[in-house]
Structure 1
Amino acid sequence: MAKRDYYDILGVSKGVEVEEIKKAYRKMAIKYHPDKNPGDKQAEENFKEAAEAYEVLSKPDKRQRYDQFGHAANAQSASGGGYGGGSMNMEDIFSQFGDIFGGGGGSPFDSFFGGGRQSGGRKAARGTNLRIKVKLTLEEIANGVEKKVKVNKQVLCDTCDGTGAKDKASFQTCKTCGGSGAVRRVTNTILGQMQTTSTCPTCNGEGSTITSKCTVCHGEGIVRGEETISINIPAGVSEGMQLSMSGKGNAAPRGGMPGDLIILIEEIPHETLKRDGNNIIYDLHVSFVDAVLGTSVEVPTIDGKAKIKIEPGTQGGKILRLKSKGVPEVNSYQRGDQLVHINIWTPKAVSREERDALEKLQNSPNFKPNPGKHDKSFIDRMKEYFE
């Protein structure tokens, strides 16, 4: 069964701001939450579907790929994991609620009604995303390539293995939250008691405190370092496209989840070939004599040289097609074509003998333009190409 459009699922338009997406998801989450619809399988499916839509549309890089490629963008990730849609479980979904409803996550009904699921315990910080640019030649874009890049970023401290503590004995359970990473508060209102959950202010949701910090990272668990990362770039990417590698961004303090590495694609202009979508454009200049008599010439392609035949009487502006000599579509077997534009080269200076020969030909009927017979408009030539 085909997946529904994520914007349709949340009931928002394509150009809507992130805050509106959050509001729409909050409404859907409350409506279809399992605690409110016990035993309703359809409500549970709607709940998961809304969470998947929010997971993609709430993140700028994932949303950009989805807007460009739709559900096929799931294959665009350089790490092979896509943008994360379609693989969420209930634990993943409830982890979103800290952003949507505030507090330490879990069911929104925890704070509204004092019941439901627990918050999931300790809250670990997440590393920040890292953005780099990768320049590719036209040949690399056409064939796909593996790039090894050195990235300067935050890495785990080797001295404390990323814990931030001097040793194991330096950890102690947080006295404020008892190790849960969250504190609950009950408030009496005119509607009765209302319970809210928030991150523990003492341990920042980690559930423990450090009595003696690592002398190298000063308790952060991360230091500045360099890592060589291998990036598999699929064939067919284009200028401005962004790929994502999950977990390859900056390391997180004290063992949290690392951020993602965002790769921005830049194309290096080719000396002779021009890219137009998935097609390759090449301007071929032939002499007047070769255009009249016909000839065979070699032209460059992204796969090497290709020999083409110039038919006798070829007109300037004619377009020759080399099928499947263009750039492939991303994660597809289809390739564009190479379009060879014929240009008639006219010499600026000729010898006396050449001039005499040309003057003799000047009055020949075969060398006088006949628009009705020979010349074709640009539109006619394009129609001829696509037929």
Structure 2
Amino acid sequence: MSDKDYYQVLGVERNSTEADIKKAYRKLAIKFHPDKNPGDSESEEKFKEISAAFEILKDPDKRRKYDQYGHDAFRGGPSGGQGVDPFDLFRDAFGGGSGGGNSGFGSIFEDFFGGGNSASANEGTRGSDLRVSVDISLEQAAKGVEKEIKYQHHATCKECTGSGATSGSGKSMCSTCGGIGQVASNQGFISIRRTCPACRGSGVTIENPCQACRGDGRIKSPDKVKVNIPPGVSDGNRLCSRGRGDAGSMGGPAGDLYVDVRIKEHPKFDRDDDDLFHDLLIPFTLATLGGVAQVPTLEGKVSLKIPGGTQANKTFRIKDKGMPNLRSPSRKGDLYARIIIHVPQKLTKLQREKLVDFAKASGEEDLQADEGFLEKAKRLFD
């Protein structure tokens, strides 16, 4: 067997649920099974490859070892399907029939696409994923924060524990879809399958539906969950709480809850990835003579040396005073302080006289011309 990534082989994400992995394997196993592709060596190899991936990822313990050590976790011993008959895996995944040979695949193939009660139908319908948003401050995004989120979802009915049936009530195969959970309609040469409207994909009908949930197995209910928002999160990042979405109907698995993070606008800082930007307002005297200015950060003020003759829009970099990196919180961005020079709008008589003397000493003797003094002063110190 090759050392291809098992998640890529099955076409699933690394955080996929066991149900997602099984579903992906079933789809590929049907496509590449040797009985469906007689004489095709490439399909046979592909069938072995997806069997190897499924044999590891379907087992929580093996999957944990694979996530931690990769293929090295199984060097020198049975792994990746080499010690397991791929036809046995196929039989187990589809719930019946002999693993190898035409006899086994034929019956399973017919059950999966035609009449008979399919394994997937009886598992119920997966609940819907839900999406909510949470607002946090920039300071909370920098430090990380735990937020309690309240939302509405379809919860498992307590009266029937999700079965949708009253106590003692039986179930029978859905006559509309034949227990498959899907009905097909032909449009020209194309056959389109959709969820059975009679049983809503469960493959069964209930004799006496639960009165509390009307046979759905779920009831609309408020819920709440605590979500840990990590340091360095950005506006628009999405977090996932597995299994906290809508409960599945007829005992199906629950969906997931997705939490969109929204960061409030900050009065002092703009953000670009891990870097922060601040407009630092200083007196024109400090810009001219030089000195020290106090710059705000998310952790308090820091001192910044301002050289004499600093011009407007000059930008100073203050290292490691930005946001923590989401993947490596110990690494931080920088804070950039852009100089904005403050020109006073009102002057005392003494202040005005001193500035006029300075202007004259600098060769500016037309301060009493048509343009106002403030405009002259702004032009002088720009």
TM-score by length of 2: 0.61
- Mapped contact 2:141–2:234 kept (Cα < 8 A): yes
> Is 2:339 the partner of 1:342?
yes
Distance in 2 (alpha carbons) for counterparts of 1:302 and 1:171: 63
| Paired amino acid for 2:46 | A
SS at match of 2:350: helix
Distance in 1 (alpha carbons) for counterparts of 2:148 and 2:249: 26
- Following superposition, the deviation at residue 277 of structure 1 comes to 2.4
- Mapped contact 1:123–1:205 kept (Cα < 8 A): no
CA shift digits 1:91-121 (9 cap, x unpaired): 8xx89xxxxxxxxxx99x9259999xx9535
- What is residue 302 of structure 1 aligned with on the other side? 298
Q: Classify 1:367/1:40 alpha carbon distance in 2 versus 1 (closer, same or farther; 3 Å).
A: farther
Q: Classify 1:303/1:3 alpha carbon distance in 2 versus 1 (closer, same or farther; 3 Å).
A: farther
Distance in 1 (alpha carbons) for counterparts of 2:123 and 2:216: 15
> Is 2:363 the partner of 1:360?
no
- What is residue 173 of structure 2 aligned with on the other side? 174
What's the % identity of the aligned pairs?
33
- What is residue 210 of structure 1 aligned with on the other side? 206
Distance in 2 (alpha carbons) for counterparts of 1:357 and 1:183: 90
- Following superposition, the deviation at residue 365 of structure 1 comes to 5.4
* Ranges in structure 2 where 5+ consecutive residues have no aligned partner: 12-25, 55-66, 68-85, 95-104, 184-192, 366-382
SS at match of 1:362: helix
- What is residue 143 of structure 2 aligned with on the other side? 143
Distance in 1 (alpha carbons) for counterparts of 2:256 and 2:348: 67
CA shift digits 1:171-216 (9 cap, x unpaired): 2343869xx943999xxxxxxxxxxx99888755535442222221
Distance in 2 (alpha carbons) for counterparts of 1:166 and 1:27: 35
- What is residue 377 of structure 1 aligned with on the other side? none
Question: After the TM superposition, which residues 39-54 of structure 1 pair with which residues of structure 2 at under 5 Å, given as runs?
Answer: 43-44=46-47
- What is residue 231 of structure 2 aligned with on the other side? 235
SS at match of 1:299: strand
| Paired amino acid for 2:130 | L
Q: Determine which of 268, 271, 275 is the counterpart of 2:267.
A: 271
SS at match of 1:223: strand
- Mapped contact 1:182–1:198 kept (Cα < 8 A): no
> Is 2:326 the partner of 1:327?
no
SS at match of 2:250: helix
- Mapped contact 2:213–2:219 kept (Cα < 8 A): yes
Question: After the TM superposition, which residues 253-264 of structure 1 pair with which residues of structure 2 at under 5 Å, given as runs?
Answer: 253-264=249-260
Distance in 2 (alpha carbons) for counterparts of 1:163 and 1:203: 13
- What is residue 18 of structure 1 aligned with on the other side? none
- What is residue 82 of structure 2 aligned with on the other side? none
SS at match of 1:317: coil
Q: Report the aligned-residue RMSD.
A: 4.7
SS at match of 2:323: coil
- Following superposition, the deviation at residue 327 of structure 1 comes to 1.7
SS at match of 2:166: coil
* Ranges in structure 1 where 5+ consecutive residues have no aligned partner: 11-25, 52-73, 75-88, 96-105, 186-196, 369-387
SS at match of 1:331: coil
TM-score by length of 1: 0.60
Q: Classify 1:278/1:184 alpha carbon distance in 2 versus 1 (closer, same or farther; 3 Å).
A: closer
